[in-house]
Homo-oligomer: A and B are copies of this chain.
Amino acid sequence: MYEFTAPFQNPSGSPIRELFKYLGEPGMISFAGGYPASDLFDVDGLQQAAARAYQDSNRCLQYGPTDGLPELKRELVNLMARRGVSCALNEMLVTTGSQQGLDLLLRVLVSPGDVVLTEQPAYPATLQALKLQQAKTVTVPVDAYGVDVDYLATLLASGMVTRPKLLYTVPTFANPTGATLTRERRIALLKLAVQYKFLIVEDDPYGDLRFSGEVVPSIVSLTTEVEGSRDWVVHFASLSKIVAPGLRVGWAIAPAEITRRCVIAKQTVDLCSAPWTQAIAAEYLADGALERHLPRIAAMYGRKCEALCNELREQLGDAIQFHQPEGGMFVWARIDGIDASELLKRAIDNKVMFVPGKAFFADKLDPASLRLSFAAPGLAEIQEGAKRLKRAYEAAFAAGIPKH
């Protein structure tokens, strides 16, 4: 019937969402999703916020401004101030999750064929968004301390990559690696951005979920230390991981002219994000409920992370390598000598799931890598899940799965 054109000739959906079909199987333990823990939602606090929001029902029910409800924007400016970032109202745009912020930004900034840098391994929806926008994606490797800024400096100095439009990174508790970029690297990255005139796109959904170690300031907050760098940073944040994804409330902080263009694009994309959930979010933040509730989430994620890491070591010993993260939702691991996609099949047989690492690579993929999320399963499930992983690992080797 219809003739489709690139980039939609033969689209494949998210490799992670493909795994959802197994989630419904009875007894399945999932380390696969990027979902926050449902049992840590502040159900009562959000119900009270919703009741307060509906006292002005028209604000909930009518169209809202494209850039976001003013009362929510004020609360988000205050929240960013507590995070050490000052921003003006015309530098902030409320989005349908931070995912929409990235989409709007790419549409405003990236033309087909433009060079875009991304850390690797990287959040798959970002790789997909770059593909949709027909960007020329160039990857920069990540180690245990975040994106390799020396590698990037050499790459840029070599002239092999010219005029990149932006670099995408999740510098704090990265998805998938859990790594946090050091302060020194952040400063070095800001200097490179000023020198080579590319935007640093700092995606920061997990920054508040720290359960150990010292706070590292966000890249956008460090722009005060590198002259001229504030013009070269776009910062995305979200309530999805710290309050609830069902609100679909994210926000972008960007130079005013970029923000203005994103707002104009958003007029065409959806007119405005849901005012009703924006109003609930504003009431929730105004009440201080986030500050009261967040420590509970971070503490429980810390316990879950520790349980997972301990049990992985206990069950798999030297066969598995990983760096224990200081926050966020993810452990990034390698099981040397195995193809994680093959391991996943045995894992599903054993009623446990994870995401094979290849989902996070645009090129040069590491087949032995995998991502384990500790956020959603309970402590007992985490322990049982690690035991099942061991059985899957043994079954995979017994079946003679070829080494990669």
Most B CB contacts (10 A, CB to CB) among A1, A257, A280 go to: A1
Nearest CB on B from A14, distance (A): 5
A58: CB under 8 A from chain B? yes
Cα distance, A6 to B108, chains bound together (Å): 9
This chain's copy number in the assembly? 2
Within 1-45 of A, Cβ neighbours of B (below 8 Å) are at 1-2, 4-6, 8, 11-14, 17, 35-36, 38, 41, 43
Residue ID in chain B nearest A17 by CB atoms:
B267
Nearest CB on B from A3, distance (A): 8
Residue ID in chain B nearest A58 by CB atoms:
B38
Among the stretches A96-104, A297-305, A333-341, the one at the interface with B is A96-104
Nearest CB on B from A91, distance (A): 13
List residues of chain B with CB within 8 A of the CB of A97.
270-271
Question: Of B1, B63, B264, B274, which is within 8 A of A274 by CB?
Answer: B274
Cα distance, A119 to B240, chains bound together (Å): 40
Question: Of B1, B108, B129, B132, which is within 8 A of A257 by CB?
Answer: B1
A156: CB under 8 A from chain B? no
Residue ID in chain B nearest A280 by CB atoms:
B276
Nearest CB on B from A56, distance (A): 11
- 0 or 1 for each of A228-268: is its CB under 8 Å from B? (1 = yes): 00011000000010001111100000010110010111011
Inter-subunit contact A264/B61 (CB<8 Å): no
Inter-subunit contact B264/A13 (CB<8 Å): yes
List residues of chain B with CB within 8 A of the CB of A4.
108-109, 261
Nearest CB on B from A106, distance (A): 9
A57: CB under 8 A from chain B? yes
Inter-subunit contact A268/B54 (CB<8 Å): no
Inter-subunit contact B60/A246 (CB<8 Å): yes
List residues of chain B with CB within 8 A of the CB of A66.
17
Residue ID in chain B nearest A127 by CB atoms:
B268
Cα distance, A193 to B274, chains bound together (Å): 35
Within 104-126 of A, Cβ neighbours of B (below 8 Å) are at 107-109, 111, 114, 125
A343: CB under 8 A from chain B? no
A224: CB under 8 A from chain B? no
A315: CB under 8 A from chain B? no
List residues of chain B with CB within 8 A of the CB of A60.
244, 246
A50: CB under 8 A from chain B? yes
Residue ID in chain B nearest A267 by CB atoms:
B14
List residues of chain B with CB within 8 A of the CB of A264.
8, 11-14
Nearest CB on B from A365, distance (A): 20
A64: CB under 8 A from chain B? yes
List residues of chain B with CB within 8 A of the CB of A100.
269-270
Most B CB contacts (10 A, CB to CB) among A35, A62, A66 go to: A62
